[in-house]
């Protein structure tokens, strides 16, 4: 299997084959509108504005599995993100990223990159606290919280996984290297 074998549903209910993004660098993020990390939408949009023309796509997958922090409908989530953060990158329908109902795409991503880059000591401490709050991260490789980021190169290889504490700006060098 490759990332291009998956088809996901966008926030408008349309089937979107990920093969449509072949040849682009992808940053795939599970998000939530009511999370302490939600302001990262600003940084994600900044990356998109800076690098979309060079081949970056950011794929936003809302998830309500962590603290009920994305309770709205797909339309409500899109409206919030566009009005509050000016989001213009592709937004998809809400999914599960862990457990029996996890999206097959996320099972694939986690199998490709089970470990995530965390950052400094402060980030490690924050992630330990987050792990204790997570009720769906039960096995190694599971997503621990909202705003976990997967970086995919132009050939469809999952080349990085980054913890929620890693800010979008911190991914810029990795993205530029792949572009």
Which residues neighbour 168 within 8 Å (Cβ) at sequence distance 6 or greater? 27, 40, 43, 44, 46, 47, 149
pLDDT value for 141: 81
Model-wide pTM > 0.95: no
CATH number at residue 91: 3.40.30.10
| Residue range(s) defining the domain that contains residue 39 | 3-178
Give me the mean pLDDT over the 40-53 stretch: 98
Mean pLDDT check: name the lowest of 48-62, 121-135, 149-163: 121-135
Q: What are the beta bridge partners of residue 7?
A: 17
Of 69 and 118, which is predicted with more confidence?
A: 69
% of the chain exceeding 70 in pLDDT: 86
Question: Number of folded domains in the chain?
Answer: 1
Q: What are the pLDDT digits (tens) for 4-22?
A: 999 999 999 999 999 999 9
**Do 50 and 19 meet the contact criterion of CB atoms below 8 Å apart?**
no
Burial class (CB in 10 A: 0-12, 13-18, 19+), 22: middle
pLDDT value for 68: 86
Hey, which residues are catalytic here? 35
> Which pLDDT band, with edges at 50, 70 and 90, does 75 fall under?
very high
Position 138 pLDDT exceeds 90: no
């Amino acid at each position: 299997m490759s990332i291009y074998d998956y088809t996901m549903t966008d926030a408008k209910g349309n089937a979107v084959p990920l093969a449509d993004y072949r040849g682009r660098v992808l940053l795939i993020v599970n998000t939530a509108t009511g999370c302490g990390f939600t302001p990262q939408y600003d940084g994600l949009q900044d990356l998109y504005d800076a690098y979309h023309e060079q081949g970056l796509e950011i794929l936003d997958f809302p998830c309500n599995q962590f603290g009920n922090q994305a309770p709205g409908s797909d339309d409500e989530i899109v409206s919030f993100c566009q009005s509050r953060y000016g989001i213009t990158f592709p937004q998809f329908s809400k999914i599960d990223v862990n457990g029996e109902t996890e999206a097959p795409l996320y099972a694939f991503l986690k199998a490709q990159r089970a470990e995530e880059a965390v950052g400094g000591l402060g980030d490690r401490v924050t992630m330990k606290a987050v792990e204790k709050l997570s009720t769906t991260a039960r096995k190694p490789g599971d997503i621990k919280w909202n705003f976990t980021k997967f970086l995919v190169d132009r050939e469809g290889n999952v080349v990085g996984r980054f913890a929620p504490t890693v800010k979008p700006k911190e991914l810029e060098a990795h993205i530029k290297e792949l572009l």
